[in-house]
Copies of this chain bind each other. A is one copy, B any other.
Amino acid sequence: MSPTSKPAQVHYAYQQIAGEIEAQILRGDLKPGDQLPGETELANMFGVTRSTLREGLRQLESDGLVHRPTPRRLEVTVPQAGQMATRSSRAMALMRVTFRELSQVTVMTEPLAARLAAAHGTDDEIEQLQVLHAALVAAEGDMARTIDLDEQFHTRIAEMGRNRVLGLAREPIALLLFRGFTQIVPFAPKFYNRQIEAHSNVLGALRDRDADRAEKWARMHIEDFWRGAQLAGLEDEIALNPRALS
């Protein structure tokens, strides 16, 4: 019953191949960076045609367990965070999750990220964050760029926390939530400036290595975002039209 142990009927050859290689990776027989044999050879090893083998490979590729730096080289790899985030965002968008759902989670993740960043971020990273913030301020008016930089700002903080689990968990969520910016700003003119201010305060707290203050301002930042959504009457609205993710 456990979601991780379901040796369900995987009778199809291409699934068996994907499963077998996956098992070898998880078992450690194949380590990230290892190069796999050519398709013909692999096909022989598994006793199938190249066509069948390729279908299996496509699946592994899509799972992020192998990838091709160049068409000629097929190597084992650990799933990339960005790839996982995209998949997750897409899933949530298709589920038509609401601003409420996103906010409820983000109001926990971002403050945690800020707290961890205060503890583990390097001076250099804080400096870079300052630069990013300056760019964000300078981008006033350009909505697309603002959203992009805003997302980067938050992600950068999360990275500073040295917690990859948090990184994986929050990225797809933040990705969706911050896109909602566009829908909120028109309803709350002052909103934009308050966001900038909050960023400044988080930045300041990080510089002082004040975890509590960083956490507090991050929380206020998100709560403010949520209030903006409420003002705009978007609480239970779909956060993002899936088509925006194309």
Give the copy number: 2
Q: Does A92 lie within 8 Å of B62, measured CB to CB?
A: no
Contact partner of A163 (CB less than 8 A), chosen from B56, B59, B93, B105, is B105
With A85-B3, A104-B165 known as contacts, the answer to whether A78 contacts B95 (CB < 8 A) is: yes
Q: Quick check: B25 and A104 within 8 Å, CB to CB? A: no
Report if A173 contacts B (CB, 8 A): yes
Cβ-defined contact, A165 with B108, below 8 A: no
Interface size on A, residues (CB 8 A): 65
Is the CB–CB distance between A105 and B112 below 8 Å? Answer: yes
A84 within 8 A of B: yes
CB 8 Å contact bits of A172-188 with B (1 = contact, 0 = none): 11010000000000000
User: CA of A32 to CA of B96 in the docked complex: distance in angstroms?
Assistant: 12
Contacts of A102 in B (CB 8 A): 165
Whose C-beta in chain B lies nearest to the C-beta of A144?
A: B2
CB-CB < 8 A to A97: which residues of B? 164-165
Q: A residues within 8 Å of B by Cβ?
A: 1-5, 14, 22-23, 25-28, 32, 51, 54-56, 58-59, 61-64, 78-79, 82, 84-95, 97, 100-102, 104-105, 108-109, 112, 116, 148, 151, 163-166, 168-170, 172-173, 175, 242-246
